[in-house]
């Protein structure tokens, strides 16, 4: 995402010069996370947002096996109006790690606010298919 580093704040833990977490700057959250949400949901989202941990690659290296990771049904809910993870990026990720199913929502990055009824319907559909 062009200009990504300009829209986030990085935070360091005590006695560290390396960022350990980050968060979107408050003035950019609506345009990146909540652009299809009501003003009330944007306000709620801003109250609830917490910094995301940043881990070094050595701590996030995971070996995925068919016996473990591959044995769990996985579904992906694609937000077709997501500006943080544009559809092309989502498609790339899906192509390189295909789930068992993909459902599309007319949502931004926060379907729990922008399209809650459609999200519940999608989750119910997934749960029903797993019975």
User: 117: domain CATH number?
Assistant: 3.40.50.1820
pLDDT band at 18; cut points 50, 70, 90: confident
Q: Residue 109 is part of which domain span?
A: 4-129
As for how many domains the chain has, the answer is: 1
Only one residue has tokens 């801003």, namely: 46
- Listed in sequence order, the residues at least 6 apart from 126 whose beta carbon sits closer than 8 Å to its beta carbon are 75, 101, 103
pTM for the full predicted model? 0.83
Q: Express as a percent the part of the chain with pLDDT over 90.
A: 65
Mean pLDDT of all residues in 2-9: 82
User: What does the alpha-carbon distance between residue 64 and residue 131 come to, in Å, rounded to a whole number?
Assistant: 25
Res 1 pLDDT > 70: no
Digit-coded pLDDT (tens) for 35-59: 999 999 999 999 999 988 887 767 7
């Amino acid at each position: 995402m062009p200009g990504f580093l300009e829209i986030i704040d990085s935070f360091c833990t005590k006695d560290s010069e390396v960022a350990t977490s980050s968060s979107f700057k408050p003035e950019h959250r609506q345009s990146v996370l909540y652009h299809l949400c009501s003003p009330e949901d944007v306000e709620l989202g801003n109250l609830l947002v917490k910094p995301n941990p940043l881990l070094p690659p050595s701590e996030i290296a995971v070996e995925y096996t068919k016996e473990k990771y591959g044995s769990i049904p996985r579904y992906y809910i694609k937000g077709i109006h997501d500006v943080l993870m544009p559809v092309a990026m989502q498609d790339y990720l899906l192509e390189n790690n295909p789930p068992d199913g993909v459902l599309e929502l007319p949502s931004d990055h926060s379907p729990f606010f922008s399209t809650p009824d459609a999200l519940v319907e999608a989750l119910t559909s997934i749960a029903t298919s797993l019975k």
